Amino acid sequence: MTAATAGRFEAAFAARGAGERPGIIPYVMAGFPGPGDTAPLLLAYERAGSLAAEVGIPFSDPLADGPTIQSIGWRALEQGMTPARAIAQVAEARAAGLTIPVAAMTYINPVLAMGVEAFAAACAAAGIDGVIVPDLPVDEAAGLAASLGAHGLAHIPLVAPTTPTSRVARVAATAAGFVYCVSVTGTTGARDRVSPAALDLLARVRSVTDLPRALGFGISRPEHVEALTGHCEAVVVASALLDAIGTGGDDPGATAERFIRGLRGVGAAG
């Protein structure tokens, strides 16, 4: 284990004060909005006070994603984005001074195509801290989790409202960094409200593990984040943020900063 990487998530969650709003983990699809925009956006995410960031590596058949991320991923692929290039964007951001933890999110097939071991090594070398694979349930994940662990990377598994608590415990036992809690039975995409099932899931996760909980899928508004205070340690924000960047004019970094500060409930100086 290289503590330098495994520790970034731990340190970031430990730095949160008691009673604070959940930290923000904004997502960006590598190659969005343009091929060279990922590293600058990651730096903007950090300037906005994000707890961590998530970088999507596009896949042709993203089963867990709704229309926003599907179409953004498809465009990234058409513009030549590859797993190797996506990983390189994180290395570029690190070289430019990015310090917050970064999780890569992709599907299992691109990982298998690169080779599980080579993928883990490439992520570690680029300064990625954890990996999220939404079509790799715990029953299939032992190989990837072992390779990631050997490289000091966190395997960040997902749990859903349909996951029984006994299984949540089994999933959490394989987790490092945090547990990714899916807020809805559904795909990614902005939602109007946080479902009661999400709060129930967060409580069930806490009953079986002390790991930090990040709630994702559908979180889109400042009032969602505020209402989640005390229920989880972080929220992942994806579709709503990408929609805002996509329609927000020609300075993606500034749009992102405004959006994330809004979610945090702080002004421009925060």
Partner 1 sequence: MTTAGRFGVYGGAFVPETLVPALEELEAAMTAALADPAFIAELDGWLRDYAGRPTPLTLARRLTEACGGAEIWLKREDLLHTGAHKLNNALGQVLLARRMGKTRIIAETGAGQHGVATATVCACFGLECVVYMGREDTHRQAVNVYKMGLLGAEVRPVDSGSRTLKDATNEAIRDWVTNVENTHYVIGSVVGPHPYPTLVKRFQRVIGDEARAQALERWGALPDLVVACVGGGSNAIGIFTAFIEDEDVELLGVEAAGRGIETGEHAASLEAGRPGVLHGAYSYLLQDADGQVRETHSISAGLDYPGVGPEHAALRDAERARYVSCTDGEALRAFHRLCRMEGIIPALESSHALAVAERRAGELGLGHRVLVCLSGRGDKDIDTVRAVGGTGEGTQ
Choose which of 167, 204, 206, 221 interacts with partner 1 (CB under 8 A): 167
Radius of gyration for the chain, computed over Cα atoms and rounded to the nearest angstrom: 17
Preceding amide of 33 cis, omega within 30: yes
- Which listed residue (46, 54, 129, 233) is catalytic? 54
- In angstroms, how far is the first alpha carbon of the chain from the final one? 34
Alpha-carbon span 252 to 255, nearest angstrom:
5
Annotation marks residue 54 as catalytic? yes
Closest residue by Cα to residue 59 from 37, 25, 30: 30
User: How many residues make contact with partner 1 (CB under 8 A)?
Assistant: 47
Choose which of 35, 186, 246, 248 interacts with partner 1 (CB under 8 A): 186
CA 39 to chain centre: 15
Quick one: which H or E segment has residue 41? helix 38-47
Annotation marks residue 135 as catalytic? no
Q: Interface mask (CB under 8 A) for partner 1, residues 37-76, using x and -?
A: ----------------------xxxxxx-xx--xx--x--
To partner 1, the closest distance from the beta carbon of 54 in angstroms equals 16
To partner 1, the closest distance from the beta carbon of 45 in angstroms equals 25
Alpha-carbon span 52 to 25, nearest angstrom:
5
Q: Which residues are catalytic?
A: 54, 65
Q: Which residues bind partner 1 (CB under 8 A)?
A: 59-64, 66-67, 70-71, 74, 77, 82-84, 107-114, 134-140, 142-143, 157-164, 167, 171, 182, 184-187
